[in-house]
Structure 1
Amino acid sequence: MTSTTTSQQELYRFLEDRFACAQACTECARACALRASLMDPGEVDGQEGVRRHAIMCAEVCDATCRVLSEQNCQDEAGIRIQLEWCRTVCVECAHACDGHSGAEEAAAVCRACASACTDFIGILR
């Protein structure tokens, strides 16, 4: 009976971490999409780079959220690859936002999402 309880606890933690990661991805996608929409596409001085990173981050986070919310059984390796891709893009976006006025919130949300991805990858191993 203990192994069943442990298995159920592990399953609950897996689902909670999966939900937390998907929620962080959603928040990051929203923040990045908002950041990109507020920027003038013709801006110079590195702002266009921030905009491109924000758009890409929003798209990757959205895709990751969809992967995590699918009901069917997925292979763990595929989930891990998606999470690692998301984590990498979020970190890159956060770095791109650093030092740009008004981008602090997007950078923080990107870092939180990267951290959620890292935490979730940790329980997949």
Structure 2
Amino acid sequence: MTSTASQQELFRFLEDRFGCAQACTDCARACALRASLVDLDGSPAQELVRRKGVMCAEVCDATCRLLCEQNGHDEADVRAQLEWCRTVCLETAHVFDAEPGAEAGAAACRACALACTEFMAVLLG
């Protein structure tokens, strides 16, 4: 029989994994929306916003899928995916900061990066 402490740890782990996956989903939606709203006028800045938004949405989607799968993934692979997601989210937030009207997208990116960081801490703990 599993002890109450280890059951609580398991529940906390699953909650943190779900929270991170939800943050990834929210970020993917915000980035996809931001990318679709960009009025491509041929400027390199607009193209960067669109590309970063699409890339971030794809990375967040892949991270969410990995976290939601029941397959036992290698912990190192999960950590690498989380770190990649965190890095892309922070880069995208920085790009969105320079884009008028992209505050919600930047905030979603930062929230996702924080969720990834917190979940990595759970994995290491």
Give the TM interval when normalised to the shorter protein. over 0.9
| Identity between Structure 1 and Structure 2 (%) | 68
The two structures have a TM-score, normalised by structure 2, of: 0.94
1:65-98 CA-partner distances (Å, limit 9, x unpaired): 0000001211111110000000000000000011
> In the alignment, which residue of structure 2 is the partner of 1:10?
9
Contact kept, 8 Å, 2:53 with 2:92, in 1: the verdict is yes
1:6-46 CA-partner distances (Å, limit 9, x unpaired): 11111100000000000000000000000001112344161
> In the alignment, which residue of structure 2 is the partner of 1:112?
111
- Distance, in Å, in 2 between the alignment partners of 1:31 and 1:98 is 14
Mapping of residues 90-109 of structure 1, within 5 Å: 90-109=89-108
> In the alignment, which residue of structure 2 is the partner of 1:50?
49
Name the Cα RMSD after superposition. Answer: 1.4
Q: Which runs of no fewer than 5 residues in structure 2 stay unpaired? A: none
1:84-122 CA-partner distances (Å, limit 9, x unpaired): 000000000000011210111100000000000000000
AA aligned to 2:77 is G
Q: Are positions 1:75 and 2:67 aligned together?
A: no
Q: Which structure 1 residue ranges, 4+ long, deviate > 6 Å from structure 2?
A: none
| Residue aligned with 1:46, SS | helix
Q: Which runs of no fewer than 5 residues in structure 1 stay unpaired? A: none
- Distance, in Å, in 2 between the alignment partners of 1:43 and 1:9 is 53
